[in-house]
Structure 1
Amino acid sequence: MSSQTPAASQDFVDAPTQPETRGIEVVSPSERHGRARDLFGVWAAPNVSILNFTIGATMILLGLEIWQAVAVIVAANLLWVFPGLIAIAGPAAGTSGSVISRALYGIIGNKVIIAFTGWLVSAVFLALNWLASSFMGADLLAQWGFADPVLGPVAVTLVVSAITVLVAVYGHGLIIKSYTAISIGLLVIFLAVTAFALPTVDWGYQAPEALTGVPLWSAITIGFTILASTPLSYINSPDIARYLPRETKPSHIIAATALGGALPGIFFTVVGALIVTGLTGPQLEAGIESAILGLLPTWLGPLLVLAVIVNTIALNGMTTYTSSMALQSVGVPIRRIPSAIVIGVIGTALTLYLVMSTNLLDAVNLMLQFLVIVSGPAMAIFATDIVLRRNRYDATDLFDEERGGRYWYTAGWSIPGMTSVVVGGIATAACLSTDVWTGPVSEAMGWVDLSVPVGMIVSALVYLGLSKTGLGRFEEVPTARAAQVAEAAQPARAASPADPSTEPAA
């Protein structure tokens, strides 16, 4: 039995006023609390975001008409159902999603996958969001007389990243308690910005060159990929839901998570698409975020910058929090709080590099498109596994990392899981279209980007097919092995005798 156990005998702290001491350890029944609807505010706060304005503007700059952009935005945000679906695994297993995915990829294979989905995706999104607040904070500092183009963004980045890591250190209790209030405050400010910006919208806007045929589908599909990368990146949704009582209805968890992310995402991305129709070329040269600041009264500009910074802290605080558990799940001998600090330092370094080498719009569009190579297949496989297992995950087996354990599979690797994520990633890349890379399928189709649907469908079908073969049979723990596991886990269970982690999910 691994030295990790599904629950530890020590008492863990989960309160908004104290640092959260639990990492990937299982949440016992006595510590379960909250309601599914609490998740709505948790997911709304990160998605009332200036990046929605930026991405919405991109839809128009791709050459789409307003109604076409709105249709693409709504369609892409329907993918929020996937973070909602995989979130139900959190209460079922009572542990982090980065541990639950051992059932998908095997004990060793999972370490490789989490290194990408838990580190690569997280580091990119940390940098993207810190980058947005850095540019806008620097613009505000310039208006106040501090116009240094390097020191301004750097100073804002360092302050915001420090506060973000502090949120991650306090963890789940603070996130659940504060994010609903943060959502309301952000909503008020962003609605005020919308009210002042909408009068500049060109409601009769028509694209300079109306797109038809293949060029139109190329713009639509590229826009869809950029938008889809946001919901598909939230493979950490089980981490936020894991404290909910086991009997919480899965449908309520799915609805609260999906609607919390989708509703503000749709609304403010559409607003971004509308705003850009009334902006001129010179206004856009400094970026959509600076152009929006120029449309606002003097008193509202600083409030928007403050809102952007608070939103960034909310999103990156949650990302850093879940990534700290990802580092634990790959076997690094580190507690969750030091892990959060390490991840914060890495994200800060990447942000500082981007601050001095690129602009926000280019960084957002390029990175979001490339992320789907990893996030799309991983999300599809996780969702497929939940359906196949009927959301039944045994916490004791998930923490059994030795040869012969239930999730050891073939030499520590799950052939269905690893094959499907690799094949799905290749299929995604083959259909991807970016300024840096265009896959052969996309190029043959005239730069039409079908990377998200093709990658997710291929991953799900390969995983489903291989799971029906001998390679995919979930090995039952042999009787002698089961006795060893139960005996080794006994000290942990003594602290929480009512732990239902081995019971089927409701």
Structure 2
Amino acid sequence: MTAVQPVPAVVGDTEDRVGAVEAAGVEYLPEEARDSRPRNVGAVFLGANLTWTNVVFGAFAIVFGLSFWQTVASMVVGTALGTLAVVPTAVISPRTGTNMTVSSGAFFGIRGRFIGSAIALLIALAFAAVTVWTSGDAIVAAAHRILGTPETALTRGLSYAVLAVLMAAVALYGHATIVAMQKIVVPVVGVLMILGVAAFAGQFDASTVGGDYALGGFWPTWTLSAVLFAAAPISYGPTIGDYTRRISARRYGNGRICAALGVGMFVGVLLPSLFGAFTAASFADPTESYLHDLVTAAPAWYVLPIVVISVLGGLSQGVLCVYASGLDLEGLAPQLKRTHTTAITATVAIGLLFLGVFVFDAVESVTAATVALNAVITPWVAILAVGALRTPDYDPTDLQAFAHGRRGGRYWFTHGWNLPAVAAWTAGAVFGVLAVNTTLYVGPLADIAGGVDLSTVGSALLAVGIYLVMPAAGRRRADRR
């Protein structure tokens, strides 16, 4: 029988209402505060993926030189693998009552969880910037076609700024408001993307390719595409607990929570990616800007739906990223409130956006950054997945040790670090970064499999293998002190 664990004293307001600013941060949420349902998690990650970011990734595969059906194959395989990697982690936060990075202390140690917080911050900030970039560019292109406004750096910058402010405002309200917004985004944006297939059906050509293979051969290019699609579900690994922490493990079983997440994640990534590949294969004379081509080639009646997708889709993913980054920063700096950390991370995200768009080549920098970050986060997610399958119960009090300024306890391990987990993650991440193969960055191990990118699969297998074979004594629970 699972032992009943002590729970920490609850400080502050944990109530969660639509339209009210959520006061709770990464502290333990008591049972009475967990009023969410598995279907909410499915809606959140379905809606968060219905954005131009995943649409552009679908188009990238065509640009890389793959045909439509080759792209679909890489899309299905990559999305399925990425979804399967994160699904086991869905059961962690309903048991710990806190977000994923704080929960990761159960496997990495009270100080070792800083690894997850740092990775989560980077991922959230990067994808928040990418979301505003893609949505902002689509709005500017649509406004140019409808109103004749210029497509300049100034109009793009203004579009980015407006979207960023809206994104930060919703994120500041918190969990309940975000869930309610996603329940609007899913039907509206989902239907508009399906209508987009009809809008471009007359121009679609399944044999269209964007040119020569980006990496010089079919399999290296196909694998790069699959890795990009796997990156979408995996990148949400640190974010899942932001929503499952408000689900009661007493009322809902593991299977139901995992199924809701899996369906939402897989369909959420697949639908917009298919839309991106389908439309990219319909452009007669594509340029370097997919979103500009989309607006130019769209029938007049579909231009306004593009604007709606840009606003709602951009907010859906951007809000998720900013909310997550605020919680992760609060985990590192518990003296700050969630609202303060959310405002800080939103400001940093918009700064990264302007740097990436106006200083570096957007397509190449986004591709390289996504694959590199994926190589680092995948071994971390893999260790959490193994931990979730092996750990039946957690100690919520000891997980909050850092916030309370305590040492010792169940997750103290070696001076706050679980060395086997840290060593396994380090080995996996180093291998992943060295094995990355993109058009902008080629790691020294990129040719280890004839140019096929093993950064994601290899980093996960290496990390799990090392973690499982490390001495059991290194994984044992620390004695209380």
Does the 8 Å CA contact 1:53/1:288 hold for their aligned counterparts? no
Say which of 304, 307, 312 aligns to 2:306.
304
Does the 8 Å CA contact 1:222/1:449 hold for their aligned counterparts? yes
Larger mean Cα displacement after TM superposition, 101-110 or 352-361 = 352-361
Say which of 219, 237, 241 aligns to 1:238.
241
The code of the aligned residue for 1:443 comes to: D
Q: Does 1:421 pair with 2:425? A: yes
Does the 8 Å CA contact 1:63/1:207 hold for their aligned counterparts? yes
The code of the aligned residue for 2:423 comes to: T
Aligned to 1:395: 396
Does the 8 Å CA contact 1:7/1:27 hold for their aligned counterparts? no
Residues 438 and 355 from structure 1, CA distance in 2 versus in 1: closer, same or farther, beyond 3 angstroms?
A: closer
Say which of 79, 83, 86 aligns to 1:80.
83
Does the 8 Å CA contact 1:284/1:291 hold for their aligned counterparts? yes
Offset of 1:360 from its aligned partner?
4.2
Does the 8 Å CA contact 2:322/2:345 hold for their aligned counterparts? yes
Aligned to 1:454: 458
* CA distance in 2 between partners of 1:107 and 1:465 (Å): 22
* CA distance in 2 between partners of 1:38 and 1:417 (Å): 31
Structure 2 unaligned residues grouped into runs of 5+: 1-6
Aligned to 2:316: 314
Offset of 1:449 from its aligned partner?
0.6
Q: Does 1:470 pair with 2:473? A: yes
Q: Does 1:97 pair with 2:100? A: yes
* CA distance in 2 between partners of 1:458 and 1:146 (Å): 52
Q: Does 1:167 pair with 2:170? A: yes
Structure 1 unaligned residues grouped into runs of 5+: 482-506
Q: Does 1:114 pair with 2:117? A: yes
How many pairs does the alignment contain?
468
* CA distance in 2 between partners of 1:151 and 1:207 (Å): 30
Does the 8 Å CA contact 1:100/1:398 hold for their aligned counterparts? yes
Q: Does 1:181 pair with 2:184? A: yes
Residues 311 and 384 from structure 1, CA distance in 2 versus in 1: closer, same or farther, beyond 3 angstroms?
A: same
Q: Deviation digits for residues 54-109 of structure 1, max 9, x if unmatched?
A: 21222222222332221111011112133332121111111111210111222222
Say which of 275, 280, 296 aligns to 1:276.
280
Offset of 1:319 from its aligned partner?
1.5
Offset of 1:170 from its aligned partner?
1.0
Q: Does 1:260 pair with 2:260? A: no
Q: Deviation digits for residues 440-476 of structure 1, max 9, x if unmatched?
A: 332244322111110011111111222x432221224
* CA distance in 2 between partners of 1:151 and 1:114 (Å): 34
- Kindly report which structure 2 residues correspond to 1:354-365, keeping only aligned pairs within 5 A, or say none: 354-358=356-360, 360-365=362-367
Q: Deviation digits for residues 112-152 of structure 1, max 9, x if unmatched?
A: 4412x221111111111111012112223333233151111
* CA distance in 2 between partners of 1:273 and 1:393 (Å): 43
TM-score w.r.t. length of structure 2: 0.92
Does the 8 Å CA contact 1:141/1:152 hold for their aligned counterparts? no
Aligned to 2:159: 156
Does the 8 Å CA contact 1:215/1:446 hold for their aligned counterparts? no
Does the 8 Å CA contact 2:30/2:97 hold for their aligned counterparts? yes
Q: Deviation digits for residues 365-417 of structure 1, max 9, x if unmatched?
A: 22211111221111111111111213x22101111233322211111211012
TM-score w.r.t. length of structure 1: 0.87
Aligned to 1:346: 348
> Larger C-alpha radius of gyration, 1 or 2?
1
Does the 8 Å CA contact 1:154/1:355 hold for their aligned counterparts? no
Aligned to 2:4: none
Q: Deviation digits for residues 336-358 of structure 1, max 9, x if unmatched?
A: 01111001000011112223224
Q: Deviation digits for residues 218-240 of structure 1, max 9, x if unmatched?
A: 11211111111111111210111
* CA distance in 1 between partners of 2:94 and 2:355 (Å): 38
Aligned to 1:487: none
- What secondary structure sits across from 1:284 in the alignment? coil
Offset of 1:201 from its aligned partner?
0.8
Does the 8 Å CA contact 1:196/1:295 hold for their aligned counterparts? no
Residues 193 and 360 from structure 1, CA distance in 2 versus in 1: closer, same or farther, beyond 3 angstroms?
A: farther
Offset of 1:295 from its aligned partner?
2.3
Does the 8 Å CA contact 1:438/1:447 hold for their aligned counterparts? no
Offset of 1:111 from its aligned partner?
1.9
* CA distance in 2 between partners of 1:324 and 1:291 (Å): 35
Residues 188 and 385 from structure 1, CA distance in 2 versus in 1: closer, same or farther, beyond 3 angstroms?
A: same
Residues 452 and 244 from structure 1, CA distance in 2 versus in 1: closer, same or farther, beyond 3 angstroms?
A: same
- Kindly report which structure 2 residues correspond to 1:43-54, keeping only aligned pairs within 5 A, or say none: 43-54=45-56
- What secondary structure sits across from 2:453 in the alignment? coil
Does the 8 Å CA contact 1:416/1:463 hold for their aligned counterparts? yes
- Kindly report which structure 2 residues correspond to 1:492-503, keeping only aligned pairs within 5 A, or say none: none
The code of the aligned residue for 2:156 comes to: P
Offset of 1:294 from its aligned partner?
1.6
Offset of 1:278 from its aligned partner?
2.8
The code of the aligned residue for 1:33 comes to: D
- What secondary structure sits across from 2:181 in the alignment? helix
Q: Does 1:384 pair with 2:421? A: no
* CA distance in 2 between partners of 1:209 and 1:438 (Å): 18
The code of the aligned residue for 2:275 comes to: V
* CA distance in 2 between partners of 1:23 and 1:77 (Å): 30
The code of the aligned residue for 1:175 comes to: I
- What secondary structure sits across from 2:38 in the alignment? coil
Offset of 1:359 from its aligned partner?
5.1
Aligned to 1:368: 370
Larger mean Cα displacement after TM superposition, 341-350 or 242-251 = 242-251
CA RMSD, Structure 1 to Structure 2 (Å)? 2.1
* CA distance in 1 between partners of 2:18 and 2:464 (Å): 38
Q: Deviation digits for residues 178-198 of structure 1, max 9, x if unmatched?
A: 312211011121122221012
The code of the aligned residue for 2:357 comes to: V
Q: Does 1:431 pair with 2:435? A: yes
Offset of 1:47 from its aligned partner?
1.1
Larger mean Cα displacement after TM superposition, 9-18 or 152-161 = 9-18
Larger mean Cα displacement after TM superposition, 295-304 or 96-105 = 295-304
Residues 140 and 92 from structure 1, CA distance in 2 versus in 1: closer, same or farther, beyond 3 angstroms?
A: same
* CA distance in 2 between partners of 1:314 and 1:216 (Å): 34
Does the 8 Å CA contact 1:81/1:254 hold for their aligned counterparts? no
Residues 290 and 476 from structure 1, CA distance in 2 versus in 1: closer, same or farther, beyond 3 angstroms?
A: same
The code of the aligned residue for 1:12 comes to: T
- What secondary structure sits across from 2:19 in the alignment? coil
| Identity between Structure 1 and Structure 2 (%) | 23
Does the 8 Å CA contact 2:10/2:30 hold for their aligned counterparts? no
* CA distance in 2 between partners of 1:39 and 1:404 (Å): 34
- What secondary structure sits across from 1:441 in the alignment? coil
Residues 130 and 6 from structure 1, CA distance in 2 versus in 1: closer, same or farther, beyond 3 angstroms?
A: farther
Does the 8 Å CA contact 2:42/2:264 hold for their aligned counterparts? yes
Q: Does 1:292 pair with 2:287? A: no
